[in-house]
Amino acid sequence: MIEYAKDNEWLLEPGSTLCQWNKDYFYLIFKNKASGNLEMRWNLPERMQTKLMELREYADTPQGKQGKYS
């Protein structure tokens, strides 16, 4: 994450989370001040990682893009 800290162009966004029981787990959202682009970085437990990937895959489907849940 050092690339976000060194140029002072990135903000840590609400929704970013550090794990309370393991210092190795996190989910961080950065926003570029100039462009407004968001970048996400994470390291999650295996089960959470799997669920996140499933959710990201679903978000790319037509139903996911419409916000419909099955």
Structural domain boundaries enclosing 32:
2-59
pTM, whole model, 2 decimals?
Answer: 0.69
Average pLDDT over all residues of the chain:
87
Q: Between 8 and 49, where is the model more confident?
A: 49
Residues 6+ apart with CB under 8 A from 63: 69, 70
pLDDT score of 41: 93
Q: What would the pLDDT profile of 10-40 be if each residue is shown by its tens digit?
A: 899 999 999 999 999 999 999 999 999 999 9
Is the residue at 70 inside a domain?
Answer: no
- Does residue 30 fall inside a structural domain? yes
Domain assignment present for residue 66? The answer is no
Residue 50 lies in a domain: yes
Q: Is residue 46 part of a domain?
A: yes
What is the domain count for the chain? 1
Report yes or no on 21 lying in a domain.
yes
55 domain-assigned: yes
Say if 32 falls within a structural domain. Answer: yes
